[in-house]
Amino acid sequence: MNVNIHQSWKPYLQEEFNKPYFKDLVNFVKAEYSKHKCFPPGKQIFNAFEFCHFDAVKVVIIGQDPYHGVGQAHGLCFSVNEGISHPPSLINIFKEIENDLGVPYPKNGNLDRWAKQGVLLLNATLTVRSHQAGSHQKKGWEQFTNALIEQVSTHKKDIVFLLWGGFAKTKSTLINEDKHSILTSGHPSPLSANRGYWFGNKHFSKTNFLLEQVGLKAVVW
């Protein structure tokens, strides 16, 4: 099956594209987009891989589901299109960056500027029905993104994986900790952050320290 994903990823994912579950997933997604309003727009489903090519990956942030409000999701986890109000989790991410690194809170919530620096902003599920969180879970996306995480773990080295919240932490079993660094904390959502599980994790300065230790360029957060 030929999937419209950046060429750099195809050698590592082609095997998945040819599996029966992925064909079923494609049929499900096509049917959902034809019958319902779904996000992100079809051409942006694989945006995370378009902005961050396989060879460039040095940080992986794992989210769960795309935003399900109009105009928000564009294929990068936690990111919204420019001009869209920042969702609560993104607000708390920017606040932590401000506290950690002294970087002023930005007006633009579009994180493609991170992706272009080698930050893979990966949702475990890549599509969602409008205003129905989790509506495309357990349809095959998780199997695909799990395989993708394993491919990155196997074929890359010195990646910093940021696992925020209980769901993301389950992905640690897919990662070779002898080759990569894993930073965990609570989720940036208000429910977790307001209980003290997010703020102060200093993941952004820690990530840059780890990257520089192996001779890679720090991320301009």
Tell me which residues are annotated as active site.
65
Q: What is the C-alpha separation between 161 and 131, in angstroms, rounded?
A: 29
Q: What is the C-alpha separation between 57 and 39, in angstroms, rounded?
A: 25
Is residue 17 within 8 Å of residue 3, measured between CB atoms? yes
135-172 residues labelled b (16+ CB within 10 A) or e (exposed) = bbeebbbbebbbbbbbbbbeebeebbbbbbbeebbebe
Q: What is the C-alpha separation between 37 and 93, in angstroms, rounded?
A: 28
HSE-CB at 119 with a 13 A cutoff on CA atoms is 24
Is residue 79 within 8 Å of residue 111, measured between CB atoms? yes
Strand 59-63 to strand 160-164: parallel, antiparallel, or no bridges (unpaired)? parallel
3-class DSSP assignment, residue 205? helix
